Amino acid sequence: MFFITSNDRKLRDDGRAYDEIRPIKIEAGVLKRADGSAYLEFGGNKILASVYGPRESYIRRLLKPNTGVIRVRYNMAPFSVDDRKRPGPDRRSTEISKIAADALRPALMLEQFPRSMVDVSIEIIEAEGGTRCAGITAAAVALADAGIPMKDIVVGCAAGKVNDEVVLDLSEKEDKEGQADVPIAIMPRTGEITLLQADGNLTEEEFEEALDLAMEGCRQIAKIQEDALKRRYGVEM
Amino acid sequence: MKIVPEISRRSITKLINDGKRADGRAFDERREIFIEPNIISKAEGSAKVTLGDTQVIVGVKPTIGEPFGDTPNLGVLMTNCELLPMAAPEFEPGPPSPESIELARVVDRGIRESQLVDLEKLCIEEGKKVWMLFIDLHVIDYDGNLFDAANLAVMAALLNTKLPTATYVDEEVVLDEENLIDLPVVDKLALSTFVKIGNGMVLDPSLEEEEILDARITIGVTQEGNHVCSMQKGGEKPLTRDEVLDAVHMAFTTKEDLLQHLE
């Protein structure tokens, strides 16, 4: 059976249309000990996220008397990539941890929990391009699963440029061979952007196109997040 | 350090003294086991094991390296363990804790001492190049008895590990990724952990049992070889000779029951 896609641009290496995301699956509440958790498969990515807290901040220097704080740890398993990654934090994962915390923070109503700490852990079990966005997507589901008051979900997706075409959600191969990558995260209800990075070469028009495309991707993924949470809490769909 | 309310310590201990367990299991009964092999396509071998609510993921990655000077014809095994902060509220990121090092070393010792991986077959050119296998243990949910869960996951991962064919040509290793060979695994190891609480010794401790244990003993037994290959005692209280022997006996009698999950 053939599907005629809505555009006349040529298909990508893996057969996707320019505005098509990879297959995605999210499950909420997969870990017993954690207060909240989620498992996400996105293309070849396999990601676990967990949440502990809000709990009393035992790290004095992080404690804020008027609000809670969020800490994120993004970590790649040594076996998640082709050449074994040395365990432990490196510069890349330290940076991603920080921007992931900044991406998630705006949605959380942590003012209700002064002097507390929320610990989010994003574990990349298998990586296939776009792990930071997928990690944030999974972490947001885990935060909701933990019952932390949130203004909105947070959802991440990237767009980029491959073969001079702006495309949605780069695969690992496209990321390596491509000309640009724009990972973003938004709060879908308001469309506010909580994470934005870009690398590569894009014209102004291409950037705008990429941003719009990535936001559209985010909105699609947000539906899957919502479904995962409804399934977890037995809400009729 | 977690504070266990005295009341639950007493109730669990009293149950065990009466020959019962809080979750209704027999003393030599394990929780439910699920093994999912080959869950990581980028790892040459992998598995996820669920033991009760404990979950462990293992990935095996090979690299080519130089053999140790005293074993020029043997491949190298390296086991590393991470108690991920997601697995329990008390696990912290940072350098490996003594607990995670102990876990990695106990699992490593079992595989090494039982010689279940034929390390001679992992030699590519004697004294020059050998396969080095990195076994990475990822604990993602801690609900007691990480030793047995980790060992089972390592066994399952090793049994589905495939390596490219390697040949040594003109001082260089040539890899043939088209022709994969199974990792030479010649035996299987059953690792069984018992804890002593009150007057009883129970197999496969749950988290609440582990939190109040007096003593712990972990025993590795091979399937074909039918030998004890590794043992590790933990906990602040001693064990008597009879308690140790009873535990070893139970490790043998429950071995097949455990290893059948690897079929």
Along chain A (237 residues), what's the average pLDDT of each consecutive run of 10 residues? 54 91 97 97 97 89 89 96 91 91 94 95 96 98 97 96 94 93 94 90 90 96 97 82
Is A86 touching B (CB cutoff 8 A)? Answer: no
Residues whose CB is less than 8 angstroms from the CB of residue A1 and which lie 6 or more positions away in sequence, other chains included: none
Separation CA A167–CA A202 (nearest Å)? 12
Residues whose CB is less than 8 angstroms from the CB of residue B175 and which lie 6 or more positions away in sequence, other chains included: B164, B165, B166
What pLDDT is recorded for position A23?
97
Q: Do A126 and B142 touch (CB under 8 A)?
A: no
Q: Residue window 214-233, chain B: list those with CB within 8 Å of chain A.
A: none
Using DSSP's 3-state secondary structure scheme, residue A192 falls into strand
pLDDT tens digit sequence for A128-140: 999 999 999 999 9
Please tell me which of the candidates A37, A75, A79 has its beta carbon nearest to residue B43.
A79
Q: Do B40 and A126 touch (CB under 8 A)?
A: yes
pLDDT tens digit sequence for B20-56: 999 999 999 999 999 999 999 999 999 999 999 999 9
Q: Do A48 and B40 touch (CB under 8 A)?
A: no
Is A93 touching B (CB cutoff 8 A)? Answer: no
Q: Do B42 and A81 touch (CB under 8 A)?
A: yes
For residues B143-169, average pLDDT: 96
Give me B60's structure tokens: 């095996």
Q: Do B89 and A55 touch (CB under 8 A)?
A: yes
Separation CA A50–CA A55 (nearest Å)? 14
CB atoms within 10 A of CB A208: 12
Confidence of residue B123 (pLDDT cuts 50, 70, 90): very high
- pTM of the complete model: 0.84
DSSP structural state of residue B87: G
